[in-house]
Amino acid sequence: MPSLEPKRGAGGRRPLSAPRLRAGTPERAGLDPTELAHLADEVRALTAGPRPWAAGAVVVAGRGPVIAVAEAAGWAVRYSSCDPGTGAGVELPPAARVPMTVDTPFDLASLTKLFTSVAAVQQIERGTLGIDARVGAYLPEFTAAAQHDITVRQLLTHTSGLRPELPLYDCPDDTARLALLRAEAPLAEPGTHLYSDLNMLLLQCVLERTTGLTLDVLIEDGITRPLGMTATTFGPCPGAAATEDQRRPWAKADRGMLRGVVHDENAWALGGVAGHASLFSTGHDLAVFCRTLLAGGSYGPARILGPDLVELLLTAPGLGFAVDQPWFMGELSGRGAAGHTGFTGTSLVLDPATDTFLVLLANTVHPRRRPPDSRPRAATATRLARAVRGA
């Protein structure tokens, strides 16, 4: 395991700053312009036709401190509702639709987990949280987690054995929701990989207990404010891309067409601030997040983590981050690329080996959810990988 002592520059001092992102040509970024042109064309094609992969999409990609691609396609709002009989969207008149722009915020869904994970690793760096400490040491009232000796590392690596989710949205109040979480025992033996939203909800509880601060404050103070990520926030976010006409039986709650309020039913039930899914952000802000991690935790004059802690975060199996997953990373996988996807259609990949990053944001659940298809995510990542090789 990498050392938890942050690396320092020449003379034992940390570098004073890391270059900020700037727009530039593919050639300036050391990328093949033909491959990137294909990437942009393919993203536009994803939003075309009567039943597109997504109503709209934004792609931001680059290498080093250069953003070589920043494109928007389709619609932030295309449908008024979903026809329950046909499953098709009821389209708004063209004049009533809202075009997608590169500055459109998106409901990040599970990309929120990356911010919760960074917030946790910041506390590990500061010594206020032990990576191998038992959850029960911080939250003794979480009796099931305490009884099974679930650790902070297991929460971060999805090896606690906890089931993927609980129906917190069906609980009558916060007291009942908290009681359900406290009593939830692992479904699998701790140490077994089982992706679970509950890991990040428990981690949120640990962070809030150990710091005395709520998760939204921790993320704003520790990540978004120092990095200048002014478009990254917990909802409501009125200008965001629309998500779902959320109704039973295809959804878990009856809320109607959603825009600017969190899509995930559990995050909604928890008041819109949840460790697993509740942030909104833009392509540019997420590019800053990627660039910060590729630069060892620094961006401009800000430093949110030391390089060794970033290495710990991104090294397989990853802390919150997925590592080398070809199903959404395409040919960027296999060399230590890290990233995540979100249920609403969001994803990001950063590749330390080539110093590249890719943010693909789409509202694939507009106007309703359907079986996920990550082939377009993998295809765009492959285009970026080939742009590196063809440069």
User: Is residue 8 predicted with pLDDT exceeding 90?
Assistant: no
Architecture of the domain spanning 19-110+218-316+324-389 = 3-Layer(aba) Sandwich (3.40)
pLDDT for position 16: 57
Task: Categorize the per-residue pLDDT at 390 as very low, low, confident or very high, splitting at 50, 70 and 90.
Answer: confident
**Percentage of residues of the chain with pLDDT beyond 90:** 93
Residue 73's Cβ-side half-sphere holds a number of Cα atoms within 13 Å equal to 24
Average pLDDT of 56-74? Answer: 98
Q: What is the pLDDT of residues 316-353, one digit of tens each?
A: 999 999 999 999 999 999 999 999 999 999 999 999 99
Q: What is the pLDDT of residues 117-137, one digit of tens each?
A: 999 999 999 999 999 999 999
Q: What is the pLDDT of residues 223-263, one digit of tens each?
A: 999 999 999 999 999 999 999 999 999 999 999 999 999 99
User: Measured between alpha carbons, how far is 370 from 182 in angstroms, rounded to an integer?
Assistant: 32
pLDDT for position 17: 76
User: Is residue 42 predicted with pLDDT exceeding 90?
Assistant: yes
Task: Categorize the per-residue pLDDT at 154 as very low, low, confident or very high, splitting at 50, 70 and 90.
Answer: very high
Mean confidence (pLDDT) of the chain: 95
User: Is residue 4 predicted with pLDDT exceeding 80?
Assistant: no
Average pLDDT of 360-389? Answer: 97
Residue extent(s) of CATH 3.40.710.10 domains in the chain: 19-110+218-316+324-389
pLDDT for position 10: 30
Which residues contact residue 311 at a Cβ distance below 8 angstroms, ignoring those fewer than 6 apart? 2
pLDDT for position 337: 98
pLDDT for position 18: 87
Whether residue 148 contacts residue 161, with contact meaning beta carbons closer than 8 Å, is answered with yes
* CATH code of the region 116-212: 1.20.58.710
Element (H, E) at 269: helix 265-269
Please report the sign of the dihedral spanned by the C-alpha atoms of residue 256, residue 200, residue 308, residue 326: negative
pLDDT for position 14: 44
The pTM assigned to this predicted structure is 0.95
User: Measured between alpha carbons, how far is 376 from 13 in angstroms, rounded to an integer?
Assistant: 43
Average pLDDT of 135-158? Answer: 97
Helix/strand/coil (H/E/C) assignment for every residue in 3-46? CCCCCCCHHHCCCCCECCCEECCHHHHCCCHHHHHHHHHHHHHH
User: Is residue 13 predicted with pLDDT exceeding 60?
Assistant: no
